[in-house]
Structure 1
Amino acid sequence: MRVAEEFRAAFGREPEGVWHAPGRVNLIGEHTDYNGGFVLPFAVPWGVACAAARRDDEVVRLLSLQDGSARVHEIAVLDEAEGWTRYVAGVFWALRRAGHAAGGADLVIDGDVPRGAGLSSSAALEVSVALALDELYGLGLGRMELALLAQRAENDFVGMPCGIMDQAASALSREGHALFMDCRSLASRAVPLDLAAEGFQVLIIDTGVHHELADGQYARRRRDCENAAKRLGVEALRDVTDLAGALAVLEGDERRRTQHVVTENHRVEAVIGLLRAGALREIGALLNASHLSLRDQYEVSCAELDVAVEAAVRGGARGARMTGGGFGGSAIALVPVDRLDSVRHEVARAYEARGWRAPRFLPAVPSPGARRLA
């Protein structure tokens, strides 16, 4: 195993284990997690592997095989960090702040999540390290506890105000299933998603673009939602039961954000109902509606995503939508396997006609969650 070999070369000893956590793609339920709502992600085949061993001091030594510099970074537990090492340092910080006695460690990180595709490589990194430390130090943490600690690392140490979906999907997913989760109660259950048996594939369309306004705009939309909830006198927008009444009170951005969140939660529940009924092909219309809402009400799409979605449907997809935070990254399309070539051709042709770089196409297979590999 490459990551174990590199560990031996870097540190001159054997790793005590190798742990892996996957990235995720979200079938539906976008920007609902931090509003206490519903989500339906699943793990993808790509993720982050972490070879690790304990140290008897407070030092953390880190090597990433994707860093390009072959540099071993050295930090002290609870110290500040820079760049990608913040995500690892944040996990140590979150564990210590929660009262868990995780000491130092030597770590080698190896990831194959496609870069820039919006498939939550940061959550995969956090969860793989959290799982490694949990087992190395015998902390006895449950999977949701690990996800919450990884989220805290990203929220409070890195400074990215993400919801719980990404880390939970990485920690809890099951092969061949999507993960339905209530982001308020944290209750979750696995929902069978046997795409191949139904003659379908979820195709990821990686636009290859990331617009720089993304991070600030993400935080702004979260504030819009919090302000709308306060104005409506509810804890979170998932508590809105009278949408027409709420929209009559609100205006501007708060009105649009509320309309998206409330209707998106309903779409998640509708998709669950259709999957239970064995009507996978019928969820396409809900994917389309989700994209339109994200484009027009939440305003987190971009031209590259819109063109990918429109071209995929034109090429024969049953439905398509942007996935992830937005402003770039990826779209997903629900495609009958006999239409895959047509969809890829139509999207590629639409990009070429606009002089854009060709998108990348990736098959999204519902994969296992975080686990020990060796």
Structure 2
Amino acid sequence: MSSAEEQAELAVAELRSAWGVQPDGVWAAPGRVNLIGEHVDYNGGRCLPLALTRVTAAAARRRDDDRVRLASTDPSAAPFEGTLADLGPGAVSGWAAYAAGTLWAVQQAGVDVPGMDLAVSSDVPLGAGLSSSASLEAAVAIAAAELAGRDDDEALRHLLIRAAIRAENEVVGAGTGGMDQTVALLAEEGSALLIHTRDLRTEPVHLGLAEAGLELMVIDTRVSHTLADGQYAERRADCDEAARQLGLEWLSDAGPADVERLADPRLRARARHVVSENQRVDTVVELVRAGRVAEIGPLLDASHASLRNDYEVSAVELDVVVAAAREAGALGARMVGGGFGGSAIALIRPGDAEAVGDAVLAACRQRGLAEPVTLTVTSGPAARRIC
């Protein structure tokens, strides 16, 4: 049984248990891992994520009134009950803000969202930098749109992307860019998705990892992070100020010479990361398209160094597992996601998976850190209806 099928069954069971109803349908949306292009999405830059085969499933039933009832298989997630008028900024908190906020944003986008009973189940790790939040938002968004009678097409998906971003920014209060929601709704199986974040243009980039005899390993440090705790917002504010001082709409429009014009060393470091990371994305895309994916390792390494030194979003756990993975034979490794915890990725040969996994475990034990969880991942499809 696939991850999506398993989570769909669990979501249906939760819907029955929580609200005593059968679903009209079940929808699933993937988590994601970003190959490269970190903290550039809100700066108008380019990033290269891929969808995971791990998903959030949403089982939903349309109601004849304006009530909204939300439940989750996560025992720490309290059920939510309200009305369609109760879902906007300041009205909902906790996990329900992601789901209810998405329903509010989809309404604001002009979709006639009905009242509904909805339950979710997910195997995307929470707080691991694998975008469990956008996975939830995309699953809820596509469920709500189809319950409203909207046909699933490219125009709808772009509308839902914008709505999900708005939910996270305005209802949850996390100042994220659009990378996560875009890949959740537009990914193609077997490919990464090159996203031009200022206008959400996308291009699939076939990875060819298996053909090159390579795998992508995710190393979950099991140190949870949150994007609404102020650190993420501080980095975004730094970038906005750097762009303002340079007279640019988007910091990604800066070049190396512009970076050196910034007098404040902190702003200069933030801008240096954004400029260099965009350059790394472009080089990785060129290499992958040329069938030279095995050569991207040093660019992953450089990305981690930039995130650690210039953007200051790494953590001791991330630095330890990245170093251990490289020493054990990884071709390259870096932290992924917002930082301050979460996960790293390592580009490895399949025969090195056990050695790399053992090495990162041993390194964390030696430092007295939480024991990490490792898994190899493949590129999965975008949000879709399961049944």
Tell whether the structures are fold-level matches, with TM greater than 0.5.
yes
Q: Does 1:91 align with 2:102?
A: yes
Of 219-228 and 90-99, the range deviating more from structure 2: 90-99
Q: AA paired with 2:134?
A: A
CA contact (8 A) 2:242 2:262 kept: no
Q: Distance in 2 between the 1:260 and 1:38 partners? A: 13
Q: Kindly report which structure 2 residues correspond to 1:264-343, keeping only aligned pairs within 5 A, or say none.
A: 264-343=277-356
Deviations 1:52-83 (A, max 9, x none): 111111110111111357x6421111312231
Over 3 Å counting, the alpha-carbon distance change for 1:87 and 1:245 in structure 2 is closer
Contact 1:202-1:364 at 8 Å conserved across structures: yes
Q: How does 1:1-374 map to 2 (within 5 A)?
A: 1-68=9-76, 72-79=79-86, 80-140=91-151, 141-210=155-224, 215-241=229-255, 243-374=256-387
Q: Secondary structure at the match of 1:45?
A: strand
Alignment size in residue pairs: 372
**Amino acid aligned to 1:38:** R
Identity %: 49
Tell me, in whole angstroms, the C-alpha distance in 1 between the residues paired with 2:17 and 2:340.
40
Residues in 1 aligned to 2:361 and 2:283: alpha-carbon distance in whole angstroms:
31
- Counterpart residue number, 2:3: none
The letter for the 1-side match of 2:190 is: G
Query: Residue 2 and residue 246 in structure 1: after superposition, are their counterparts in 2 closer, same or farther (change >3 A)?
Result: closer
Q: Give the direction of change, closer, same or farther, for the CA distance of 1:353–1:158 in structure 2 (3 Å limit).
A: same
Q: Structure 2 unaligned runs (5+)? A: 1-8
Aligned partners of 1:78, 1:153: CA distance in 2, in Å? 15
CA distance in 2, matches of 1:32, 1:334: 21
Pair 167,354 (structure 1): closer, same or farther in 2 beyond 3 Å: same
Mapped partners of 1:215, 1:162: distance in 2: 12
* Consecutive unaligned residues in structure 1, runs of 5 or more: none
Give the Cα–Cα distance (whole angstroms) in 2 for the partners of residues 143 and 27 of structure 1: 23
Per the normalisation by structure 2, the TM-score is 0.93
In angstroms, what is the RMSD of aligned CA positions?
Answer: 1.6
Moved more, 344-353 or 278-287: 344-353
Q: Distance in 1 between matches of 2:374 and 2:259?
A: 40
Deviations 1:188-235 (A, max 9, x none): 011111322221111011111136797311100100000000100010
Q: Flag the 1:82–1:185 CA change in 2: closer, same or farther, 3 A.
A: closer
**Residue 45 of structure 1: how far off its partner (Å):** 1.5
Q: Retained in 1: the 8 A contact 2:161–2:178?
A: yes
Deviations 1:234-266 (A, max 9, x none): 10111113x124313332211000000001001
Counterpart residue type for residue 11 of structure 1: W
Given that 2:26 and 2:386 are in contact with CA atoms closer than 8 Å, whether structure 1 keeps it comes out as yes
**Could you tell me how far apart the structure 1 residues matched to 2:71 and 2:296 are?**
43
Letter in structure 1 aligned against 2:109: A
Amino acid at match of 1:350: A
Q: Which letter maps to 1:326?
A: G
- Where 1:133 maps in the other structure, the secondary structure is helix
